[in-house]
Amino acid sequence: MSDALRTFSEREFYLGEFRGRTLAIAWPATEAPAEQPLAGVVAELSANGSRVVVLSPVEEVFVLAGVGAPVDASTPSYAPALWRDLRERGAAGLRVPADGFASACVEVARTLRLAKLVWIQSAPPVERSESAPGEGEGRVSVVDLAHLGPLLEAGESEGVALHRADAGSRELLVAIRELIESGVPSVNVCAPKDLARELFTYSGAGIFFTRDRYAEVRPLAIDDYDLANDLIERGEADGFLAPRDVAARDAVLAHGVGVFIEGRYLAGIGAILPYPDEAAAELACLFALTRYVGEGAGGQIVRYAIERARAQGLSYLFSCTTSARVEGFFERYGFRRVDADALPKAKWDAYDPARRARVRCLRFDVDRDAD
């Protein structure tokens, strides 16, 4: 799959998510005005049927964003005036004072009941501690309310090894907590240059703040198939997943499960393929959106599969991979390396011999590995 096709698929998913909703981009005076990608993002969202409000105390930001003359937030009837601009152009500017900018943005978001707010800030307000182990390495991608509290009170959240990036980040984190508690579903923080990547790509480029970290792991619904299929294609194109024909792809979708943040945002997928004659199941096609690789999405699916195997009285789960890194991942959850003969014979029907020679077989015996 080409980069162009992959990017198109990602953009289409997020544009569909934003269509018919009002989003705000908060650009404080501390960030230098920049035309791109701001103007392009505003134009694309407006053409998509979304409504975009640019919040800033800086006149040049409105000019560069192409939203026309801004409405002043100090005007008592600013919301209806803003609505008229949004209705006419799909985008509008709202002048917010530089002093108390964060608090003013919170009040605006409450008044307008925004669907999302994107905060422009070059320096991330939260960083991951160097001691963060395992899957939690790398950039912080997701922070929920449960971890915002400790970050505000003590400057760190030991449960996920996070800490405030600097003393000045506290004001923004307070504002983000107030935004989410007042009903704004999510807040994104990213650098100016990363605005399009943050909004339109699976990997993102900033930090996604939400009420709940992972709401649930559940079977895929038919409305999830489009994105799940795109993720499978991406994983195959990037070499993380073995190529599948139509029948194998259908089996993955039919038995697929996903990790859903807030019950709606798909963070990762996998399939639990049944082998009833062996009282076994294969955990296959495990793939997480790049943004959530460091947030434990894969582990959530593995734990779900183990719990389901126990509930169904299965003898064992298994998985196959050619990657030493993936092998290590499964071993952290109690899987052990076994010979290919220790798996169902049906697994190897029409299996590529060259791949079989390279594949690493991992098995989790449910009774043996029960807690």
**pLDDT reading at 133 higher than 60:** no
Q: What percent of the chain has pLDDT over 70?
A: 89
| Tokens 């970290």, residue located | 213
May I ask the CATH architecture of the domain 3-210? 3-Layer(aba) Sandwich (3.40)
- Mean pLDDT confidence for 259-272: 81
Burial label, 328 (beta-carbon count in 10 A; 0-12, 13-18, 19+): exposed
**121 CB-near residues (< 8 Å, 6+ apart):** 28, 30, 31, 172, 189, 190, 191
Please give the structure tokens belonging to residue 58.
């800086």
CA max distance for the chain: 74
**pLDDT reading at 6 higher than 50:** no
Question: Is 216-365 CATH 3.40.630.30?
Answer: yes
| Shared fold status for 3-210 and 216-365 | no
The distance of Cα 362 from the centroid of its chain, to the nearest Å, equals 28
Query: pLDDT at position 143, please?
Result: 86
**pLDDT reading at 215 higher than 80:** no
- Mean pLDDT confidence for 123-144: 68
29-44 b/e (C-beta count within 10 Å ≥ 16 → b): eebebbeebbbebbbb
Q: Radius of gyration (Cα) for the chain, nearest Å?
A: 23
Burial label, 132 (beta-carbon count in 10 A; 0-12, 13-18, 19+): middle
**pLDDT reading at 3 higher than 60:** no
Phi, psi of 37 (to 5 degrees): -90, 10
**pLDDT reading at 354 higher than 80:** yes
Query: pLDDT at position 39, please?
Result: 97
- Residues facing 164 on adjacent strands: 126
Question: Measured at the alpha carbon of residue 137, what is the angle toward residues 201 and 143, in degrees to the nearest 5?
Answer: 60
- Mean pLDDT confidence for 115-142: 75
Query: pLDDT at position 8, please?
Result: 41
First to last CA, the chain: 42
pTM of the model: 0.69
Q: What is the tens place of the pLDDT at every residue in 27-70?
A: 999 999 999 999 999 999 999 999 999 999 999 999 999 999 99
Domain residue ranges of the chain, discontinuous segments joined by +: 3-210, 216-365
